[in-house]
Amino acid sequence: MPNSEKTEIVRDKGPEARPLDTFDRTILGELAVDAGLSYAELGSRVGLSAPAVHERVKRLRATGRIRGTVAVLDGPATGKPFLAFVHVDTTGGSKSRTFRALAELPELEEIHSVAGDTCTLLKVRCASSRALEGLLARLYAMPGIKATRSYVVLSTYLERTPQAGITEALEEPPMDEAPR
Amino acid sequence: MPNSEKTEIVRDKGPEARPLDTFDRTILGELAVDAGLSYAELGSRVGLSAPAVHERVKRLRATGRIRGTVAVLDGPATGKPFLAFVHVDTTGGSKSRTFRALAELPELEEIHSVAGDTCTLLKVRCASSRALEGLLARLYAMPGIKATRSYVVLSTYLERTPQAGITEALEEPPMDEAPR
DNA sequence: TGATTGCTCCGAACGTGATTCCTTTCTTCA
DNA sequence: TGAAGAAAGGAATCACGTTCGGAGCAATCA
């Protein structure tokens, strides 16, 4: 199972990283689904030896393609069966201070600044609707919070971390008005 | 590093599982942040020996508290810098067929059925705004899709998988109208 | 109160797999 | 055509996951 750091630090290449060949993308695809694979198994799936995939995974970590490996907890099974998305309207003000305070709560899973009819989108997972109420109360106690609109999740059909695959077909020009 | 299965199958206790003591919750908290910890390191952090935490992690897996361990990929670094949430209005119809088709796309990260002024909420990560356009085009080609409203993410301040912690204070009664 | 049962923890030993080293091969550039 | 760099494979080493046996502890029941 691909270990975190532990190997000597490989200098972060930053933006000068190469463009991800097929091997890399296959490795990423496998690890995004199950990071508990042995290098031998991973190697046989992508068609490389264990040391070779080890080298590539090390590089994928060093270049920031892999941010880390985590255990995925089950919300309901760990006491937080209640999931909601909260749109927030804010008036100007120091959003980063507010966000930092929110991020302290383990109930907050995502905080995005979005374009649309609201400013901010939160993903909240908590124990009950009462806990959401408590969270909203805290929200309104913060400066610059104008309004919220909550979407309570009734059932979840899919929930996963970023995947490696890219559907090329989505990029095709939608209209046939010859770009040039 | 906590391995997946591999150990003999421990009978899934289903709902009869115990209520998660402090050790369990600490272990979950650590693994939700970094699943690459060795059992020895994990043990020293929670105050147990390696075999003891191994036993507990095995149980946490068997009882479904831990759904799996995955590598967290970086969207921009893997070619998908564009993130959006799409609210979808559907008229009755077989949603599960539609959802299954959508889940095939690696661009789809989340599909929730929600309560509110829309029916469904999608989280989409793709290569560009054009790809989102292509995805919306596919959406409208599906039966029962009435309207969509998209929120394009400008910047992400927090994004993580479910955490183990629970903020008890959120559960406190919001009003002082003595329940009894 | 005392004995028994079950559970969980720890120390030590074992085996597997991660990690490294080195050689070979392929590609690229002079 | 020759040289240099990168990358993959094979083998060896080493760390860690995993198991085993025993001890401590709490709860149950006689």
pLDDT tens digits, B142-156: 988 999 999 999 999
For chain A, residues classed under CATH 1.10.10.10 are 1-71
* C-alpha to C-alpha distance for A41 and B168, rounded to whole angstroms: 43
Does A107 contact B at CB distance below 8 Å?
yes
State pLDDT tens for residues B95-130. 888 999 999 999 999 999 999 887 999 999 999 999
Contact (CB, 8 A) for A72 and B72: no
Q: How far is the CA of A7 from the C1' of C30 (A)?
A: 36
Both tokens of B7, joined, read 């150990």
Cα separation values, A32 from A10, A42, B32, B106, Å:
22, 12, 15, 11
Q: Which class in CATH covers the domain with range A1-71?
A: mainly alpha
Cβ contacts (< 8 Å) between A128 and chain B: which residues? 171
For chain B, residues classed under CATH 1.10.10.10 are 14-62
Q: What angle do CA A37, B104, A110 make, to 5 degrees?
A: 75
**pLDDT by 10-residue block (mean), chain A, 180 residues:** 39 52 95 96 94 94 96 97 96 84 97 91 98 96 93 97 96 62
B49: nearest nucleotide, CA–C1' criterion: C10
Q: Do A74 and B67 touch (CB under 8 A)?
A: yes
- Which residue, B109, B113, B173, B150, is CA-closest to A84? B113
Reported pTM: 0.87
pLDDT at B118: 77
Q: Which residues pair with B147 in a beta bridge?
A: B89
pLDDT at A4: 40
* C-alpha to C-alpha distance for B132 and B148, rounded to whole angstroms: 12
Structure letter (DSSP) for residue A174:
S
Residue B82: how many CB atoms within 10 A of its CB?
18
CATH number of the domain located at residue range(s) B76-152 in this protein: 3.30.70.920
> CA end-to-end span of chain B, whole Å?
49
Residue A50: how many CB atoms within 10 A of its CB?
14
Tally of CA atoms within 13 A in the half-sphere of A69 that contains its CB: 29
> CA end-to-end span of chain A, whole Å?
50
State pLDDT tens for residues B47-67. 999 999 999 999 999 999 999
For chain A, residues classed under CATH 3.30.70.920 are 76-152
B14-62 fold: Arc Repressor Mutant, subunit A (1.10.10)
> Average pLDDT, stretch B1-28?
60
Cβ contacts (< 8 Å) between A98 and chain B: which residues? none
Contact (CB, 8 A) for A161 and A94: no
pLDDT at A12: 36
- Which residue, A69, A34, A107, A74, is CA-closest to B65? A74
Residues with CB under 7 A from strand C: A 1-3, 6-8, 37-40, 50-51, 54-55; B 18, 23, 43, 47-52, 55-56
